[in-house]
Amino acid sequence: MNELSELAEAGELARISELARVTDERLAGQASGAGARALLAAIVEEKPGPATATATATAAAAAGRRAPRSRRARRLLVGLAATAALAAAAVMGPVLLERIPGTATSYANTAIDIELRGDEYIARIKDPFADHALYAEGFQALGLNIGVDLIPASPTRVGEIVRYGFAGTTRADRLGGGLKPEGCTLDQEGCFLTATVSKGFKGRGVFYLGRPAKPGEKYQAFAEAGRKGEMLEGYDADGRTVGKVAAEARRRGLRVVFRIIEPNPDGNGFGMGRDQSAKVGDHWYVWAAEPEQAGTVRLLVTEKHLRKNPVTGE
């Protein structure tokens, strides 16, 4: 008689059947939690009852073998239970570490890692081009109602919080972010976009982070084109003629496009010109130069010279 027959006669297969009722669905999300650890500890520490010991001894006697072989069978069961728990953990996708209701402190998926450090959660963006729902998923798993969106930005706005909002929050609630380590750039190894949320954040928060633009993608966040690190670095276009600014842009290998603006009556602020198809002459005036996309600068212009820059209010 082989060992499988011995286990069947001893009633051990019935015990395996009972263990099998703990299905993958019931273990989902608990393989690394307190419940899984308690289950494994209970299996390991359980002592055989009288009925089990008697049945095992009877089966051993019938086979002409000694009862101690039952310990081998029990070690087999423990091994099977431990293997099942490890297998359940291995097939999990997003991982929520130490997931005990109200005490989870970290989360990870393919797009983001989040960890509680001191009095704030620090989220490291692993994939800046991922679906923004994956970022929100991580915060929601930790009980935080936080929305995150990454938008294409000109070089000096990459890693900055472009804008953010709050709803139903308290004075203690804080959102932040940037590039970490401080002063690094995304093309450096070990440099990441990060988002921070204060511990115990109430209500809802949402923030937008600037990310590198894909080829041909227009910027949704940008700095003035003359700023250090931007396409017209060191050049001040304010109040110059279109002819002069366009010549400088083309000298740098840039394409030039125009936006015709209409200043407000008081000179502070502006609206869009009604006819954007009008031909812009070299004698027109430039009030701001903005990066539109990689290799293209957008000039905000009027036909007449103005006493006050409507873009800057100066």
Residue 112 tokens, joined: 């983001």
Residues 257 and 298: beta-carbon distance below 8 Å: yes
Average pLDDT over residues 145-156: 92
**What is the spatial distance between Cα 241 and Cα 244, in angstroms, rounded to a whole number?**
5
Domain count along the chain: 3
CA 259 to chain centre: 35
pLDDT in tens, 199-228: 989 889 998 889 999 999 999 999 999 999
**What is the spatial distance between Cα 314 and Cα 238, in angstroms, rounded to a whole number?**
10
- The domain boundary residue, chosen from 186, 212, 238: 212
How many beta carbons lie within 10 A of that of residue 48, not counting itself? Answer: 14
Q: Cα–Cα distances in Å, from 117 out to 49, 90, 182, 195, 199? A: 47, 26, 17, 13, 9
72 falls within a domain: yes
Say whether pTM exceeds 0.75.
Answer: no
| Range with the largest mean pLDDT of 5-19, 45-59, 74-88, 213-227 | 213-227
Domain that includes residue 57, residue range = 3-92
- The domain boundary residue, chosen from 187, 212, 237: 212
> Do 116 and 65 share a domain, yes or no?
no
pLDDT in tens, 91-131: 444 544 444 445 679 999 999 999 999 999 999 999 988 89
Query: How much is the mean pLDDT over the chain?
Result: 77
> Do 81 and 115 share a domain, yes or no?
no
168 falls within a domain: yes
266 falls within a domain: yes
> Do 243 and 200 share a domain, yes or no?
no
- The domain boundary residue, chosen from 92, 119, 134: 92
> Do 67 and 108 share a domain, yes or no?
no
42 falls within a domain: yes
Q: Cα–Cα distances in Å, from 70 out to 56, 57, 102, 294? A: 6, 8, 42, 73
Residues 95 and 106: beta-carbon distance below 8 Å: no
> Do 207 and 228 share a domain, yes or no?
no
> Do 75 and 155 share a domain, yes or no?
no
Provide the 3-class DSSP secondary structure of residue 297: strand
pLDDT for 64 beyond 80: no
Per-residue confidence band for 79, with pLDDT thresholds at 50, 70 and 90: low
218 falls within a domain: no
